[in-house]
Amino acid sequence: MLWSMSRRRLANLVPLLGLLSLAGGCQGPSPPTDGVQAPDVETRLGAMTLEEKVGMIHANSAFTSGGVERLGIPELVMTDGPHGVRHEHTRYYDKATGVEDAGTYLPVGTALAATWNQELGYAFGEVLGRETAFRGKDVILGPGINIIRDPLNGRNFEYLTEDPYLNARMAVGYIKGVQDQGVATSVKHYIANSLEYERRFVNVQMDERTFREIYLPGFRAAVQEGGALTVMAAYNKFRGAWCAESAFLLDDVLRDELGFEGVVVSDWNAVHRTLPAAGVSLDIEMGTDLSQEWLKPDYDAFFFADPLIELVRNGTLDESVVDDKVRRILKVMERIHMFSGDRPEGAYNTPEHQAVARRVADESLVLLHNDGFLPLARGDIGKLAVVGANADRKHAGGGGSSQVNALYEVTALEGLRNLLGDDVEVTWSPGYAVAPGAVADPGLIRAAVDAAAAADAVIYVGGLVHGYTDAWDDNAFDAEVLDKPDMMLPFGQDELIEAVIAANPNTVIALQSGGPVDMRAWAPQARAIVQAWYGGMEGGNALAAMLFGEVNPSGKLPMTFPARLEDSPAHALASYPDENLLIDHTEGLHVGYRYFDAYDVSPAFAFGHGLSYTSFEYADLSLTRGQEGVEVGLRVTNTGPVAGAEVVQVYVRDHQSSLKRPIRELKGFDKIELAPGASARIEFVLGEDAFSYYDPVKAGWVLEPGAFSIAVGSSSRDIRLRGEIEL
């Protein structure tokens, strides 16, 4: 059933449903009073007692911070994020029952980034913004834009990419899409929360140049271009200070340098002490209670609650510090129409939202390898064996805080059956068991092998499980709180795939995971390999359509896929945190492809890689110096038999510089759709920032004159055109 009631209607219904404890909807925005000017921020602030102000800067339930009813200030209602509006919680965090909260489940962050389609970033955000507004929430806790540094990070699926430029471009679209609907985003997790292991205690060290060139650009763009209204301070320490206490991160960089005027929200329970956190520009302490009483937390005991009042009362902290925080919150509330009641109502579970989920899923599929076997033709296949437990598995509920109660989720098996109907006989055998510590199961393998041998073609759908195989134990893949144990496929899948390919060489491997797995055992024998991520509610339909040629793949990898874990820079040049909980980024700038290029390591699949069923020719590169920067022009022609979309990527290299620079850096991309035989001219303008690097001694960005090469290609390792320009 569609949930078709507005926030106000929901608020009216709440008592009827017996849901007074719902996190959202208890205190709707105060309606405008006819003819009477709403009080401005300073008037409201001036009318508040210290207790009322402090009530606004800490959680008063699992997903709200306090309002001041007598002054018409509603609670600020938040929700996860980032790829759907999370299910309803009671005020004490547990799942609310008896409420229709099943909504649109979009593909995960890495899938969105794999589309390399900025318009889809906006459309994705628009869906989230509309559904957030409809559900009566004010802030959606996303996008997640931590740089993907280490394949083991349990939360990579929620993030976008290893590359700062792609990160910024996709984040800006998402943020604008959400905020144009009158709700705020919370860009997270600021900053360098790139592992889940001991995330509340690890200390991240990195040099200043790496911070500026790799980790900060996404947040800079989110704030300065996207206009993000809130930012979430991460759990970890950064150079010895907790992110929620860091004067460098919050005051010097975010406020003073980036000019961020919005609200900084802590990650849940990321605050550890009152004075150090209150003294910097952290505005709201969020969290549930981590004590044994966690289902009935004492919010008055939060660091930004009674202890803070005490510090003001005894003269340790000036009340103006609290005023600044409250002022920023009130301003954001104004921006998202919480006082005027002018926020658009939003919409929920519309066919348009489902169409966006489908389009993102279509465009996110990355065809990693194809010897010509794909696309499959229905007419050639009488019997199709689908093998793999993931073919029948749903993922919306996985991953931790990003979980979504999906209105529906089409699995790969259902997608294939939907598409093929009665034309093709489709069998399914799981082949492996999803269970903690499960290894290859001879019985399941035998059944899968028999099915494969009896079929004309095999579609293997495996990968990771996106969640905990056993509640909160050590068996999690692509899930919050726990990193992956290694980069191997779990549950004996390598053995299974090898046996299936031996039984029927016409096997396509489709993997659902947030990032790379080690494919060495079987990749050379597979006829085709598809990276399918976690594709949202329409993921199964998208995969089936792509395998059978109804959709031409156009996704490109937003991160390098190393052949093996040891080849990834965080493992080759740095190490997984030890007992001292130090995450030292000794690899520096060598994150992702910057490492593979500089150290001449062959990846399994390069950053930006993704095949198509058609072919594209690149020609006529022109480089000219224009008013705004270097104008890069080229012609792309679809030289193959079918329509398709190509992601044209522009990489810059500085030939001579005082400091060592990466061999190539992405500085522009565009996705272009072309009919067979059609061609189009594409133009990019590369501004000063595309050629500059951060000089830590000068503490600023430097553009050194000299020769730069511009490489244009279909991936970071498939460069089709090169040119040089003197600056």
Nearest to 581 by CA among 197, 239, 196, 202: 202
Question: CA-to-CA distance for 600 and 619, rounded, in angstroms?
Answer: 27
Output the six-digit token pair for 578: 């030890």
Helix (H) or strand (E) holding 617: strand 616-625
The CB-nearest residue to ligand BGC is: 401
Q: How far is the CB of 241 from ligand BGC (least distance, A)?
A: 19
- Distance set, CA 273 to CA 199, 280, 285 (Å): 17, 12, 11
| CA dihedral for 307, 311, 312, 317, sign (positive or negative) | negative
Please list the alpha-helical segments (H only) found in 82-163: 109-114, 118-134
How far apart, in Å, do the first and last CA atoms of the chain sit? 61
Helix (H) or strand (E) holding 495: helix 493-503
Nearest to 475 by CA among 439, 422, 429: 439
Q: How far is the CB of 81 from ligand BGC (least distance, A)?
A: 6
Output the six-digit token pair for 46: 């001036």
Question: CA-to-CA distance for 633 and 50, rounded, in angstroms?
Answer: 59
Q: How far is the CB of 499 from ligand BGC (least distance, A)?
A: 39
Which residue number, 190 or 432, has a Cβ lying nearer to ligand BGC? Answer: 190
Beta partners for residue 482, in sequence order:
479
Nearest to 328 by CA among 254, 234, 218: 254
Which residue number, 61 or 401, has a Cβ lying nearer to ligand BGC? Answer: 401
Which residue number, 153 or 401, has a Cβ lying nearer to ligand BGC? Answer: 401
Which residue number, 112 or 690, has a Cβ lying nearer to ligand BGC? Answer: 112
Find out whether 461 and 510 touch, Cβ atoms under 8 Å. yes
Outline where DSSP puts E strands in 475-607.
Answer: 476-477, 507-512, 528-531, 582-584
Length of the chain equals 727
CA angle, residues 712, 718, 722, in degrees to nearest 5 = 35
Q: How far is the CB of 329 from ligand BGC (least distance, A)?
A: 18
Which residue number, 236 or 390, has a Cβ lying nearer to ligand BGC? Answer: 236
Output the six-digit token pair for 359: 């389009």
Residues that bind ligand BGC (CB under 6 A): 80-81, 141, 188, 267-268, 401
Which residue number, 91 or 188, has a Cβ lying nearer to ligand BGC? Answer: 188
Backbone angles phi, psi at 687, to 5 degrees: -80, 180
Which residue number, 269 or 512, has a Cβ lying nearer to ligand BGC? Answer: 269
Which residue number, 155 or 556, has a Cβ lying nearer to ligand BGC? Answer: 155
Q: How far is the CB of 482 from ligand BGC (least distance, A)?
A: 12
What secondary structure, in 3-state letters, does 173-218 show? HHHHHHHCCCCEEEEEEECCCCCCCCCCCCEEECCHHHHHHHHCHH
DSSP assignment of 77-103, as one string? Answer: EEE--SSSPPPPBBTTSSBP-S----B
Residue 28, SS3 per DSSP: coil
Beta partners for residue 384, in sequence order:
426, 457
Which residue number, 232 or 374, has a Cβ lying nearer to ligand BGC? Answer: 232
Residues forming the active site: 267
Q: How far is the CB of 211 from ligand BGC (least distance, A)?
A: 21
- DSSP letter (8 states) at residue 22: B
3-state helix, strand, coil in the chain (%, to 5): 30, 20, 50
Q: How far is the CB of 188 from ligand BGC (least distance, A)?
A: 5
Q: How far is the CB of 334 from ligand BGC (least distance, A)?
A: 24
Residue carrying the six token digits 């699992």:
62
- Distance set, CA 131 to CA 6, 38, 80, 575 (Å): 10, 27, 12, 41
Which residue number, 286 or 360, has a Cβ lying nearer to ligand BGC? Answer: 286
Residue carrying the six token digits 């990019």:
684
- Looking at residue 303, its amino acid is F
Which residue number, 81 or 555, has a Cβ lying nearer to ligand BGC? Answer: 81
Q: How far is the CB of 493 from ligand BGC (least distance, A)?
A: 29
CB neighbours (10 Å) of residue 455?
A: 24
Q: How far is the CB of 92 from ligand BGC (least distance, A)?
A: 14
Question: CA-to-CA distance for 550 and 418, rounded, in angstroms?
Answer: 13
Burial classification of residue 641, based on how many CB atoms lie within 10 Å of its CB (0-12 exposed, 13-18 middle, 19 or more buried): exposed
Q: How far is the CB of 526 from ligand BGC (least distance, A)?
A: 35
Question: CA-to-CA distance for 531 and 508, rounded, in angstroms?
Answer: 11
Which residue number, 181 or 401, has a Cβ lying nearer to ligand BGC? Answer: 401
Question: CA-to-CA distance for 457 and 454, rounded, in angstroms?
Answer: 9
Find out whether 173 and 216 touch, Cβ atoms under 8 Å. no
- DSSP letter (8 states) at residue 695: E
Which residue number, 162 or 267, has a Cβ lying nearer to ligand BGC? Answer: 267
Question: CA-to-CA distance for 67 and 75, rounded, in angstroms?
Answer: 4
Q: How far is the CB of 141 from ligand BGC (least distance, A)?
A: 4
DSSP assignment of 394-424, as one string? Answer: --TT-SSTT---BS----HHHHHHHHHTTTS
Largest CA distance in the chain: 81
Q: How far is the CB of 284 from ligand BGC (least distance, A)?
A: 12
- Looking at residue 313, its amino acid is R
